[in-house]
């Protein structure tokens, strides 16, 4: 045991939690969730991280780190016309799909056949709205937003992983010091709120299907790649089954999809965590313990975010997704012969259109695959 094991695990947990908590708040607001439902959401997904990471790391003696779906949160936050019960129904279906992917090889093979350019184009379109939202906070309160934005770009020159946290903590302090927050919420322990699901066909097509695809393509596959790059052979099927199961159990309490981590996993799987690869699995239990603490105080954190200025939430959410957007757009345009299909997918997703009550992400996938198919038909003729 080394102190570096504990330090790496705690840093990974804080970066993953603090850097994207604003996205949960934004997604919950888009669904019209109450503060109690939002607190339950945070508590449920933190408990999911605790059980999934703790079990998988201990069982397979690897640093198998789980996380919640950050692209999924962006997708949920950008969706229009869904209620919280309908979203819970979509979360349940997505969880079942992930479990089936781990159990049935042809399902995972089918998902892998979707061109990465199209999946990345859809993800980039989803994330684009959050980047625009961050930019739009500037005219609302420039004296508050511009210093925080400058702080982000300066900190990321030296430590990209800590840049978003610096803005979050700096923004909280600045908000209180400048009188933008009237009172400090009291500390309270978290509780879980049961939300009865509604299985609406529009939500299944417009929310569950895109959520499943972006989670698999943008979270699980990179997460497994991080482990392989560190010299491990991850138990792919078991990891999908476990993350799918915790997603299923947390969904009725508002928790969205759980999956393999990529950035957090990179912190826990490198030599900085422990020089001996066989001992790095010890980061898993400490990472899990960190999320248990977050779960206990999730209600207080949500209450704090509720009194913070709205521009701060939008700014943190947008800045947190710059890296993911850059990566998604790069992958979307990587293959020249697939660029047109990827751009069409990106444009339709970013438009936010809704046809027959079904959101833009689904129609973007349809449009992108159609263009991709037409290009291949022409070349085959």
Contacts with 166 (C-beta within 8 Å, 6 or more apart), sequence order: 151, 152, 155
Mean pLDDT of the chain: 87
**pLDDT exceeds 80 at position 332:** yes
Arithmetic mean of pLDDT, 10-36 = 86
**pLDDT exceeds 90 at position 349:** no
Arithmetic mean of pLDDT, 255-263 = 88
Burial 103-134 (b: 16+ CB within 10 A, else e): eeeebbeebeebbbbbbbbbbbbbbbbbbebb
pLDDT digits (tens, 9 = 90+) for 202-247: 999 989 998 998 888 778 877 887 788 788 888 888 999 999 999 9
3-state SS string for 253-322: HCCCCEEECCHHHHHHHCCCCCCCHHHHHHHHHHHHHHHHHHHHCHHHHHHHHHHCCHHHHHHHHHHHCH
H helices of 178-235, in order, are: 201-203, 209-215, 221-229
Alpha carbon distance 32, 321 (integer Å): 22
**pLDDT exceeds 70 at position 380:** no
Q: Quick one: how far is CA 117 from the chain centroid? A: 19
pLDDT tier, 23 (very low <50, low <70, confident <90, very high otherwise) = confident
Query: What are φ and ψ of residue 196, in 5° steps?
Result: -70, 125
pLDDT digits (tens, 9 = 90+) for 99-144: 999 898 777 777 667 787 888 888 788 778 888 989 999 999 999 9
Question: What is the reported pLDDT for 112?
Answer: 66
Better-scored residue on pLDDT, 244 or 270: 244
pLDDT digits (tens, 9 = 90+) for 143-178: 999 999 999 999 989 877 678 888 888 998 999 999
Return the structure tokens found at 138.
């500037």
Number of Cβ atoms within 10 Å of the Cβ of 59: 14
Arithmetic mean of pLDDT, 22-49 = 92
Return the structure tokens found at 104.
């049935």
pLDDT digits (tens, 9 = 90+) for 290-313: 999 999 988 888 888 778 888 988
């Amino acid at each position: 045991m080394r102190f570096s094991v504990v330090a790496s695990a705690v840093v990974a947990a804080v970066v993953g939690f603090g850097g994207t908590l604003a996205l949960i708040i934004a997604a919950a607001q888009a669904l019209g969730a109450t503060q109690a439902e939002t607190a339950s959401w945070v508590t449920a997904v933190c408990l999911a991280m605790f059980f999934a990471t703790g079990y998988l790391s201990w069982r397979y003696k690897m640093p198998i780190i789980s996380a919640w779906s950050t692209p999924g949160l962006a997708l949920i936050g950008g969706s229009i016309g869904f209620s919280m019960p309908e979203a819970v129904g979509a979360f349940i279906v997505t969880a079942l799909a992930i479990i089936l992917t781990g159990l049935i090889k042809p399902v995972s093979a089918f998902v892998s056949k979707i061109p990465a350019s199209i999946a990345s184009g859809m993800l980039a379109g989803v994330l684009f709205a959050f980047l625009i939202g961050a930019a739009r906070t500037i005219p609302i309160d420039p004296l508050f937003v511009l210093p925080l934005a400058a702080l982000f770009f300066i900190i990321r020159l030296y430590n990209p992983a800590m840049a978003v946290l610096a803005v979050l903590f700096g923004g909280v302090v600045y908000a209180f010091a400048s009188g933008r927050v009237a009172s400090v919420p009291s500390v309270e322990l978290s509780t879980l709120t049961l939300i009865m699901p509604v299985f609406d066909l529009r939500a299944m097509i417009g929310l569950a299907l895109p959520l499943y695809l972006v989670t698999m393509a943008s979270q699980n596959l990179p997460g497994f790649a991080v482990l392989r790059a560190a010299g491990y052979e991850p138990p792919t099927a078991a990891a999908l089954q476990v993350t799918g199961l915790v997603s299923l159990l947390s969904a009725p309490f508002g928790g969205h999809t759980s999956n393999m981590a990529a950035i957090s996993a990179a912190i826990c799987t490198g030599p900085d965590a422990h020089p001996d690869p066989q001992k790095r699995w010890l980061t898993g239990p400490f990472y899990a313990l960190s999320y248990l603490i977050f779960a206990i105080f999730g209600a207080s954190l949500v209450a704090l975010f509720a009194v913070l200025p709205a521009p701060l939430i939008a700014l943190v959410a947008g800045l947190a997704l710059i890296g993911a957007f850059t990566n998604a757009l790069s992958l979307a345009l990587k293959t020249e012969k697939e660029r047109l299909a990827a751009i069409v997918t990106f444009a339709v997703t970013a438009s936010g259109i809704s046809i027959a009550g079904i959101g833009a992400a689904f129609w973007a996938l349809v449009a992108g695959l159609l263009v991709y198919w037409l290009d291949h038909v022409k070349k085959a003729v």
